């Protein structure tokens, strides 16, 4: 693994995230290629990583954009994109007007957003709604039972957006599509946006192709166009976090190692994967890696590692998505630096 990194990658100030842009472009091309084959519109979820270089590469590879705030819209404004989509409980007048002005699609989360859109003169027939899904996503969008009431109020329901988290396997895909079919099979729709959640499926091209083929077949049966919004699946693998060991404590069961990057500050949306260490020792001990904060939950995980000393380096993989874009600043600790290898 060490040979994969240039010398400056090991000598660089830490903590830092290194992005391999060739990896990002390969992932983007994979999705565009498969989606184009099946007639699916593929839009990159800006929330995964909104760095301008990431977004410019996404546009160059032919992706659209999915945004959830005015700041996210600002970062993609001016880029040539296939499509611009927006959905969030907190979309403002300013954001909705901006999306509408570039012929984007808004998926309204609530009636208040409809009222705001009409107040600023938007033709809501050009847009759609977000549908609520079970579990953790039940608070987002309109409940299935509200659809008839929307039509009674003269609110057209021709485009719908759904998202219910990660698809873990083909059976999961089919189960969720069956649930959606029960909601919309008697609704005359033009567009179905299935959101994101392709991180696991994208680990194997065959699994991703099978899932997208199944989704497209579903949209054909519904007589609609199909949109997906991958973010993590495109960006995660291109990013690596480089951190430095600050201290090591011997424990009966192994060692506790403190590094200069906070797991808490970088969010905990993904399992932390340790890719490499600079230590030369070949004997391994159980190692608990923690961040430099006073928060007892600031834990990177437990790994079998060599004995580590101050100054040693660790590298974590899959840090290209939902890392810098959600960074916090507990204790005023700075966010990691961001560096790019083309």
Residues 45-85: pLDDT tens digits? Answer: 999 999 999 999 999 999 999 999 999 999 999 999 999 99
pLDDT above 80 (res 10) = no
Q: What is the dihedral sign for C-alpha 57, 59, 62, 67?
A: positive
Average pLDDT, the chain: 93
- Sequential DSSP letters for 160-186: EE---S---SHHHHHHHHHHHHHHHTT
For the chain, give the number of residues: 342
Q: Name the percent of the chain lying above pLDDT 70.
A: 97
Residue 7 reports pLDDT greater than 80? no
Residue 277 is predicted with a pLDDT of 87
Radius of gyration of the chain (CA): 22
Q: Is 280 exposed, middle or buried (0-12, 13-18, 19+ CB in 10 A)?
A: exposed
Strands 313-317 and 273-277: antiparallel
User: What's the pLDDT score for residue 313?
Assistant: 92
Which residues, other chains included, contact 236 with Cβ-Cβ below 8 Å and sequence gap of 6+?
Answer: 48, 199, 270, 318, 319, 320, 321, 322
Section 20-35 average pLDDT? 97
pLDDT, tens only, 77-98: 999 999 999 999 999 999 999 9
Q: How far is CA 194 from CA 180, 228, 287, 290, in A?
A: 10, 5, 40, 37
Q: Which residues contact 248 (CB under 8 A, 6 or more apart)?
A: 255, 256, 257, 258, 307, 308, 309, 310
Whether 1 has a pLDDT exceeding 80, the answer reads no
The DSSP secondary structure of 259-298, one letter per residue, reads ESS-TTTT--SS--EEEEE-------EEEEEE-SSS-TT-
pLDDT at 305: 93
Average pLDDT over residues 154-158: 83
Q: What is the pLDDT of residue 272?
A: 77
Taking the CA atoms of 96, 100, 105 and 111 in sequence, report the sign of the dihedral they define. positive
Tell me the mean pLDDT in the region 181-194: 94
Report the distance separating Cα 303 and Cα 161, nearest Å: 40
Give me the pLDDT at residue 8, please.
64
46-to-51, 55, 67, 100, 340 alpha-carbon distances in Å:
9, 8, 6, 18, 18
Confidence category of residue 6, pLDDT binned at 50, 70, 90: low
Residue with structure tokens 């890392």?
323
The model's pLDDT over 199-239, given as tens digits with 9 standing for 90+, comes to: 999 999 999 999 999 999 999 999 999 999 999 999 999 99
Which ranges of the chain would DSSP assign to H, the alpha helix? 7-11, 21-38, 52-60, 70-76, 93-101, 111-119, 147-152, 170-184, 205-222, 232-235
Q: Which domains does the chain have, with CATH numbers?
A: 2-18+236-341 (2.40.37.10), 21-235 (3.20.20.10)
């Amino acid at each position: 693994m060490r040979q994969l990194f240039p010398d400056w990658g090991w000598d660089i100030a830490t903590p830092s995230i290194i992005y391999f842009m060739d990896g990002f472009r390969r992932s983007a091309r994979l999705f565009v290629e498969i989606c184009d084959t099946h007639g699916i519109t593929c839009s990159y979820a800006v929330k995964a990583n909104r760095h301008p270089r990431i977004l410019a590469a996404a546009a160059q590879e032919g992706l659209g954009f999915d945004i959830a705030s005015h700041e996210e819209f600002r970062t993609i404004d001016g880029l040539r994109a296939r499509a611009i989509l927006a959905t969030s409980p907190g979309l403002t007048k300013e954001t909705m007007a901006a999306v509408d002005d570039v012929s984007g699609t808004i998926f309204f989360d609530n009636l208040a957003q409809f009222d705001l859109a009409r107040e600023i003169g938007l033709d809501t027939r050009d847009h759609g709604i977000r549908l609520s899904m079970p579990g953790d996503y039940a608070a987002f969008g309109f409940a299935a039972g509200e659809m008839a009431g929307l039509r009674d109020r003269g609110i057209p329901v021709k485009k719908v957006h759904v998202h219910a988290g990660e698809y873990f396997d083909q059976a999961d895909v089919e189960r969720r599509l069956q649930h959606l079919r029960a909601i919309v099979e008697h609704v005359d729709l033009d567009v179905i946006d299935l959101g994101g959640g392709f991180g696991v499926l994208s680990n194997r091209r065959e699994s991703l192709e099978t899932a997208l083929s199944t989704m497209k077949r579903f949209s054909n049966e519904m007589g609609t166009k199909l949109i997906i919004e991958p973010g993590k699946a495109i960006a995660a693998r291109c990013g690596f976090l480089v951190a430095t060991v600050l201290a090591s404590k011997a424990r009966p069961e192994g060692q506790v190692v403190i590094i200069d990057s906070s797991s808490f500050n970088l969010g905990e949306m993904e399992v932390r994967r340790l890719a490499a260490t600079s230590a030369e020792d070949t004997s391994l001990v159980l190692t608990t890696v923690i961040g430099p904060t006073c928060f007892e939950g600031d834990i990177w995980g437990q790994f079998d590692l060599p004995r580590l000393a101050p100054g040693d380096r660790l590298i974590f993989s899959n840090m290209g998505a939902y890392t810098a874009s959600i960074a916090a600043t507990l204790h005023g600790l700075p966010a990691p630096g961001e560096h790019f290898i083309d």
